[in-house]
Each structure stands twice: as structure tokens, then as C-alpha cells.
A and B are shown apart, each in its own frame.
Chain A
């Protein structure tokens, strides 16, 4: 196991949720952490003062802002070793209800922001021939069986897609990539501050309204996942010589992934005959 105390972490969206829990845990272990948020004040208030902490006000949708923050991190700490693309938010709503603007904003933050970070950090990681990129997806990025979360699932599926390819394309440079698919963790993810709902709600989508209400009420505050334990799982995985490309976090995420794998397998078996009969006659 490498000595992770020498590793420098760069975490986006660290003023709340899993990002905040991770930044705090790392700092409590004496590790160096650069962390981003849209608001420097929120970030400083949430994390607190620490000599190993570099708070950065970053608009992850701006390549210039992202590039500047990465440059600052390397100047301050000498390198970047572990990147955690954690910034993101949930969006409820049927596809028909959400406007083009609501849809695109979710993709901006959940997908394109992470791509900006990856694009701007890779020159440093390639040069040092080492590094580990964690992209925080969701169990909703592995199974789309979340009625009323179509766009959110689409963004998180997208994260899984590019991370799998990324893992392959940077392998030769000594760089690793891991998709983290958490289940429900007890953060403020389902509060008004993180979960967006459609402005134009159609009552006809009964299933969507019920799921939305369940997330805002029963599920919020009762999530089984402990954010601090998730932080420990990130740290442990970053110390591994051969970390996995897929890491599911939480019993709920594990169970849903297992059920999904079996369902897809059963489904494939059921359609095998016609699904494989589309080749030219040889």
C-alpha cells in the first residue's frame, strides 16, 4: 500500500454532501485537500480552517475557471494525485415536464463540469504518469428503474459511459479511473437545496408525482448510507494498487446492482434468438 499521506486530493462540490464528508475526513487524517465550490464562503464555513486545505471558488462550467483552480492546486501542493468529480445535483421530473433549460443545466453540472475537470487535469497526471480519477455517478447511473428521474439517470449513465472509456484510454499512463455508484446517503441531497423539481408539473404523471413526494418526504432523512463511511471507502480505494472501475456504495446500491444484472441477463436470454439473428447469411 502506498503512503496516502503524501497524496494531494482535488474534490469538486465540497461545500456539502459526500464531497464535504470526504474533505473533512481527509483533513482529519492530515492529508492535503484542494476543494471547489461556487461559493468560497460556503466552502470555508463548511470545512473550517486547516493548513492543508485549499478552498477554491470555481465555476466548473468554465474551462478557464477549472484550469486556474488546478494550476493553483499544483502550485500550492506540488501535484494532484486524486481527483474526485463529486459536484452534481438531483433532478426529478418526467421528460415531458422538464424544459430544455432544466434538462441541459443538469447535464452541464453532472456531466460537462466533470469533463472540464478531466480535460484540464490530465496534462498534469499524464506528465507525472500517475493519478486516480473518481467520478461520482449514482446507482441511478447503473439502473434506470427510477421513475421520474429520467434526466438525472441519463446524466449519471453518461458519467459511467465516459469513465469506462477513460479507464481504458489512460491506463498506459499509470492513471486509474473509478465510477462510484452510491445508493441513498444521509446528506442534504434530497433537500430543496440539492434536489430540483420541474417548474411545470403535470398531474397526469401519477407515478412520477408519487416518487417525487417519497424522495422529498419518507426517504429524505432516513437514508441508510453514512457519508463518513463513504469517505473512508474512497480513501481506501485510492490506496489500492488495482482499484475497481465500478464501486457500488451501500447495501441498497449493491442489492439494486445485483437485481439489475440478473434482470438484464434474464431479458437477454429471453430475446437471444431474434437479437442475434441480424447478421448477413454467410
Chain B
């Protein structure tokens, strides 16, 4: 199996990012991986002495820090082939409960961090006329559950920008995939990766009940992170990766149901849709 591609993975100290990095290293790939804390990252990956592993302490919302980490990867490994924008966290709460600050912070990590990485990686990918960018969205980025409005907004944004990006960079030799995973058995549903509105409003009973259901799901998620990691590796080695990928039987089922809802809504309101053109 070919293992000559160089990977750059953000948010690699836990979750899907960590599983992916470990699998890549075990397979023989070279991997640059970022986290806010490089000691935590190295301890989690457990490959401090591997010459194939470059741990990077990066603040993703700081453009200088991102630019520096990509330059370093290029210097150490000679190129970058696959970018995985994996860093992110879940945020629960009704819109009315969440403050401007809580919302801004969620967008900083989940959206603007990803944009920064793309912006600073593209000059290298453009020059070498090849590259592959995987942006991790979520099934909430297409079929959100109750109580995750801002997370849904951020993850929808990732799908939107990935689709346009795919068109923008196709002729420059770069491919793009937005992955929308369902529930995978990581620490995502623990306080390590999930925050909630500080200002809870009692009226929002459904929202809080939905949050409880998610917390209770922790440890029983259907998805195996090892298998998700293998899918990403297979995608990176494939000729024509899809631009959108709903990953996991739960995500797939929710997406299919959502397509049905959208399709009927579009038809039910067709007359109104077609009533607004000039004659």
C-alpha cells in the first residue's frame, strides 16, 4: 500500500482526529497534527520519537499560528497532501439562551479556524497542483436535532463553503470533501467536547430534554472511530471522492429522511416558488 502522502490534521488530541492520526502513523504515513497543547497531543498520540510524527501547538483562530504550522509541515516533510479540518466542539442551547460571546466562540473554532487553515494551505496545494481537503461537518450540518441551533449553523456553514471551495479549486488540482458524521463513540458527548448555554431558560423544556438524550447516548454511539478513520484514508487514496459524505448508518438515515422532507416541501410550495418571476 502506498503511504507517501503527507497529512495535516487539526484537533488531534482526541476524538476522530486522534484515532485518525494513530491509524495513519500505524499505516506508515507522515503526519503533522495540531492541538492547543502539544504535550497533551504527544501524550495522546504516544509517538514522540517517531520521525513520521510532527506535533504542532497551534491556535487555529490565530492566522500567524496557522501559517507557521503549515510552513513547518512543509519544511519537515517537504510537502502537504491531505488536510483534515477536524478541530471543533459541540454547543447546545436555544438561540435565546446563548450569548453573543458563546456564539462567537463556537464559530471561531468550528468555522473561522477551518477557513484559516484552508487559506494558508492553498498556496502550497495550488503550487504543487494537487491536494485534498477534508472538512469535518456533522449530520447536524444537514439534519439538525432540537437544541443545537448554533452548532447546526456552524456545521451547515462548513458544508456550504466546502461545496463552493470544491468548484473553486478543482481546476487547480485540489479535491474537497465535507464529511457529516453521525454519532461516533468518542469523547464528543462529554464535557471535554460539548458546552451548553450558561443562561438556561426553563421554558425551553424540549431543548433541555434533547440535551439529556444526547448525554445519555454517550458510550453507546453506533459509530466506530477506527472505521471512520479508515474511510478518510480510503477517500484520500481514491480518484473521485464525493464532495458531501454522510458517514454512519445513523447519519445516512437522517440525511435520507431529510431529503424526503425537503423534496415534499419543495413540491407542496411549488406554486408560491414559481409566482415571483417577472412575466
Contact = CB atoms under 8 A, between A and B. Distances in A.
A126 B203 contact: yes
A76 B251 CA distance: 47
B278 A186 contact: yes
Contact of A118 (B95, B112, B116): B95
B263 A261 contact: yes
B275 A162 contact: no
A157 B270 contact: no
B277 A276 contact: no
Q: Which label, helix, strand, loop or mixed, suits the secondary structure of the A interface?
A: helix
Nearest to A169: B94
B273 A248 contact: yes
A226 B276 CA distance: 6
Nearest to A229: B276
Contact of A244 (B96, B269, B276): B269
Interface string B84-105: 0000000000111010100110
B171 interface: yes
A196 B16 CA distance: 37
B35 interface: no
Contacts of B167: 144-148, 207
B262 A158 contact: no
Contact of B96 (A118, A147, A279): A118
Contact of B259 (A161, A170, A206, A265): A265
A59 interface: no
Contacts of A186: 278
A146 B153 CA distance: 19
Contacts of A272: 252
Given A154-B111, A165-B149, A265-B259, A207 B168 contact: yes
Given A96-B123, A150-B164, A165-B149, A249 B111 contact: no
B268 interface: yes
Contacts of B104: 112
A278 B67 CA distance: 34
B223 A268 contact: no
B50 interface: no
A122 B204 CA distance: 12
B245 interface: yes
A144 B266 contact: no
A276 B273 contact: no
A49 to B, nearest CB: 28
B274 interface: yes
Interface stretch (B26-34, B37-45, B70-78, B139-147): B139-147
A115 B95 contact: yes
Given A122-B96, A158-B154, A251-B274, A100 B222 contact: no
B118 interface: yes
B161 A144 contact: yes
Given A96-B122, A225-B278, A280 B222 contact: yes
Interface string A112-139: 1001101100110010000000000000
B223 A147 contact: no
A91 to B, nearest CB: 11
Interface in B161-192: 161-172, 184-185
B48 to A, nearest CB: 30
A230 B262 CA distance: 21
| Interface core residue of B160, B165, B206, B268 (most chain A CB under 10 Å) | B160
B217 interface: no
Contacts of A236: 272
Contacts of B246: 268, 275
A151 interface: yes
A225 to B, nearest CB: 6
A194 interface: no
Interface string B235-276: 000000011111111011001100100110110111011111
B160 A267 contact: no
A34 interface: no
Given A166-B95, A233-B272, A267-B244, A204 B168 contact: no
A246 B207 CA distance: 21
Contacts of A226: 276-278
Interface stretch (A9-17, A38-46, A50-58, A252-260): A252-260
B94 A164 contact: no
Nearest to A267: B242
10 contacts: A94-B165, A157-B156, A157-B159, A161-B152, A162-B153, A165-B148, A278-B249, A279-B222, A279-B248, A280-B185
Closest 3 CB pairs of A and B: A144-B163, A157-B160, A161-B156
Interface of A: 63, 94-96, 98, 100, 103-104, 107, 111-112, 115-116, 118-119, 122-123, 126, 140-141, 143-151, 153-162, 164-166, 168-173, 182, 185-186, 204-208, 224-226, 229-230, 232-233, 236-237, 244-251, 253-254, 257-258, 261, 264-265, 267-268, 270-272, 274-280
Interface of B: 63, 94-96, 98, 100, 103-104, 107, 111-112, 115-116, 118-119, 122-123, 126, 140-141, 144-150, 152-172, 184-185, 203-207, 222-224, 227-228, 231, 234, 242-249, 251-252, 255-256, 259, 262-263, 265-266, 268-270, 272-278
